[in-house]
Copies of this chain bind each other. A is one copy, B any other.
Amino acid sequence: MWERCFSERRARQIQRAFRRGKLTLLCLFMTVIVLRGTIGAGKFGTPVQDFDEIRHRLHSSQLSVPHRILIEEHSSASNAVTGKENSMEEDDPRDTSRPYSLGPKISDWDEQRAQWLKSHPENPNFLTPKKPRVLLVTGSSPKPCENPVGDHYLLKSIKNKIDYCRVHGIEIFYNMALLDAEMAGFWAKLPLIRKLLLSHPEVEFLWWMDSDAMFTDMVFELPWERYSTFNLVMHGWNEMVYDDRNWIGLNTGSFLLRNSQWSLDLLDAWAPMGPKGKIREDAGKVLTNFLKDRPVFEADDQSAMVYLLVTQKDRWAEKVYLESAYYLHGYWGILVDRYEEMMENYHPGLGDHRWPLVTHFVGCKPCGKFGDYPVERCLKQMDRAFNFGDNQILQMYGFNHKSLTSRKVKRVRNETANPLDVKDGLGLLHPHFKAVKMQI
């Protein structure tokens, strides 16, 4: 870890931190974390590599929060809706004497929706008895990225999602509109999700996915039946959330939300910490006090979710599945250096640490100017992750990237006059989970 400290950018960061007298505190923290890392892994049942995620992210967040706050204070008004980026949209100011609301209270959504589905059999909420209709929702700012290459990575990211979703029979909604100026930044997903659920009763599950998350297992199909009695599925660990109250005990960068009254109620309960300004600032302090290891910054949706589940466990926990059997969200820091090892030893379709479903570049912020990690490492690893996933698509057509770092592709299977005899190695050309008999 100290070698990493001595990269050029880190050296500058450390110098600044030292001048502010934080280095001493950091060393103390590091000692504590290393000790806890030794003691704690067994107790929580968390695989060592997952605990690495927490250490990695704590280390970077401790150094980067000042940058993040600077960005959010100085960023110009924009309609940023990545789920991560900042926006300070100046619109008609809401009357703050009235509590914030995502919309008029609806109490009979399950009934409204059931009625609609019954009278619209041509728009079923299940594509097969076992496969729900899923809408994957993602997005980014309508403004060009401050970092010129940022949009290129957003483009590669959506291509990556298009590929996975095409193979798995999932539709995509790419948002570039800020629907509610008060709920800007990472909170923008809440009004959007509510709007889409209510507009598309045929959608059974809405899958929110951050723009900096990429599919790295193109074969893995989500275990839909596992979630038949749950309404919210996030990657995380029960102990980290309910016992430890750790702000990264779950991840809201990739989650499933069922289209139901329960979900509308959850969104209503989740939203109050979101309105920008004093509410969000004060809520941030509450969250930092309440949650373990959370740095000081304004309220974010992920911390607020942990807070909600912990403080209202009886109301929500029964229908929340914290999934750690595969990487519905996979922290990039512990995955990207292992891709070659994965290719050597494993195969697509596993979805877990052996071949992660999702590699999520938390903290990289390629669209902005300041991320939590060195930009070169982020961009290089995002290229590798993209190629790792893209190889699984290209192999269908007889091609592969020359290496995980190369944009170029090479032929790995000759052309043939009998293309339909070609073995579909990964079963992606005509996947069973997409097969349907369609008729009016």
Which positions in A face B, CB cutoff 8 Å? 78-79, 89, 91, 103-106, 112-113, 115-116, 120-124, 127-129, 140, 142-145, 148-149, 151-152, 154-156, 158-159, 162-163, 166, 171-174, 176-179, 195-196, 198-202, 390, 394, 396-399, 407-409, 415-420, 429-430, 435-440
A117 to B286, CA, bound (A): 60
Q: Are A440 and B436 in contact (CB under 8 A)?
A: yes
Copies of the chain in the assembly: 2
A231, chain B: closest CB distance, angstroms = 19
Q: Are B179 and A173 in contact (CB under 8 A)?
A: no
CB < 8 Å neighbour of A154 from B115, B155, B163, B409? B155
Q: Are B140 and A144 in contact (CB under 8 A)?
A: no
Q: Are B128 and A419 in contact (CB under 8 A)?
A: no
Q: Are A399 and B177 in contact (CB under 8 A)?
A: yes
Q: Given the complex, which residues of B lie within 8 Å of A156, measured CB to CB?
A: 142, 176
A408, chain B: closest CB distance, angstroms = 6
Q: Given the complex, which residues of B lie within 8 Å of A173, measured CB to CB?
A: 162, 166
A148 to B145, CA, bound (A): 9
Q: Are A151 and B142 in contact (CB under 8 A)?
A: no
Q: Are A105 and B417 in contact (CB under 8 A)?
A: yes
Q: Given the complex, which residues of B lie within 8 Å of A123, measured CB to CB?
A: 430, 435
Nearest opposing residue in chain B for A440, CB measure: B128
Q: Are A89 and B436 in contact (CB under 8 A)?
A: no
Q: Given the complex, which residues of B lie within 8 Å of A159, measured CB to CB?
A: 158, 174, 176
Nearest opposing residue in chain B for A201, CB measure: B420
With contact pairs A174-B162, A409-B178, A438-B124 given, residues A149 and B155 touching in the complex (Cβ less than 8 Å): no
A151 to B158, CA, bound (A): 12
CB < 8 Å neighbour of A151 from B152, B166, B201, B394? B152
With contact pairs A397-B195, A408-B89, A420-B112 given, residues A172 and B179 touching in the complex (Cβ less than 8 Å): no
Q: Given the complex, which residues of B lie within 8 Å of A398, measured CB to CB?
A: 195
CB < 8 Å neighbour of A155 from B158, B420, B439? B158
Q: Are B409 and A179 in contact (CB under 8 A)?
A: yes
A132 to B396, CA, bound (A): 23
A105, chain B: closest CB distance, angstroms = 7
With contact pairs A142-B407, A148-B144, A158-B158 given, residues A199 and B166 touching in the complex (Cβ less than 8 Å): no
Q: Are B142 and A149 in contact (CB under 8 A)?
A: no
Q: Are B415 and A116 in contact (CB under 8 A)?
A: no
Q: Given the complex, which residues of B lie within 8 Å of A105, measured CB to CB?
A: 417
Q: Given the complex, which residues of B lie within 8 Å of A429, measured CB to CB?
A: 199-200
Q: Are B155 and A162 in contact (CB under 8 A)?
A: no
A61, chain B: closest CB distance, angstroms = 28
Q: Are A439 and B128 in contact (CB under 8 A)?
A: yes
A423, chain B: closest CB distance, angstroms = 12
Give me 15 other A-B pairs in contact (C-beta within 8 A), A158-B158, A201-B420 excluded. A79-B408, A91-B408, A104-B416, A112-B420, A113-B420, A122-B435, A151-B152, A155-B155, A156-B176, A158-B159, A158-B174, A163-B174, A177-B409, A436-B439, A436-B440
A172, chain B: closest CB distance, angstroms = 6
Nearest opposing residue in chain B for A400, CB measure: B177
